[in-house]
Structure 1
């Protein structure tokens, strides 16, 4: 009787196949390919990434916390998208000069879109446009390029009415109208007050790669701005020169002090 209690052969023969089966099942499951994210999840991720790129484009340099607040994302979510954009070279940390440190404490990191990031937004016809411009210069000389550049800008701002007067309000309204016209043409433009003036900012330039070779395109824009506003304007930066935006400063006449 005692020897029967010591006999564990039944237990061993029952446990061993079960353990072997579990190991085999685990091995088979490990060999299976990982299940990919659902199309719905992947699509949502893509829309969020596009929203982050849009903020970097239009409002950069911008901090991760600002992105999270604007898009309603967690810090981890913002970090995931920024890391992906940084790794792909479509975004970068802003230089110390571009970062805007306010208040005490450790300055926050600012991020902005890169030329590669802009390139993904649409430069499909750069080579063709560049070849056409070079042929135009060969046939008609520099004057033909300048004339083409002016006609191109007029096609964008042709519906913008010139400033009725040189008051701050009048100039601001015309600057806003110019920005709206350029946004409709794909330049993602906006205006912002800066000191005693307003700046027209073009956060994207569909022809920036061509403008690198043909600065007449940028010169014609500045000329058109000055004509519409009826005042001197100053180009501070251009995407074609590697800046994060094309920025044009419009000085405003300060209101007369009451007598």
Structure 2
């Protein structure tokens, strides 16, 4: 789902080259429903009035991806190379340590701005294949790839048909898990084994992806547990009316972590629909 934050919004290049959109002040947003992450929904356009929290979440997503000037330059460089770029290329071009270059690329991939493929060079022979990062869409504006109303409608339809609360929670989590797995492809490419990393870095990647999808997420740790803390729920009032929807987010976390790290058992300990200030998932 493309989420055009501003009515008559500038293109992504304009905003990147003008300091990430300083001076833009229109409150109205436009939703464009697309086909990212294989959601396979029809092209529709509608007007959406953003709440203050939704606007804050939008800004958080943009600054998370493009707040760093080096990262903006890396993104623009990647746009110029349709064949894709590697961490080694970025490291040499911008005189960065390879791990720093990889961090910037993974941050952009987590936000959905770059897509990852796993390739083995013809002359490379045996050995570990390399990640290639390509721009997801050259004509994109600022995007939230999750079409939240699609997930809600899918969830409500199945939950109403099933009726028992336990079944509804299972369905909600499965919907989220399947979507999380699809999202993880953008982080690791189709070779999931290449995406294995430490739990801490995997959870950070999940938080970055959730932020790009409107959850305004960050990580911390408490009582020997890693936590994903979200301050905004893109499901809005529908989640307050149907708290079972919280299981979708938990499923997304489980699906992404399962693909890029391994099996985990995330648990929701606080949620905004339950009256808490934040949504907190422990791993």
TM-score (norm 2): 0.36
More strand by share: 2
Q: State which structure, 1 or 2, has the greater radius of gyration over its C-alpha atoms.
A: 1
Higher relative contact order (CA 8 A, sep 6+): 2
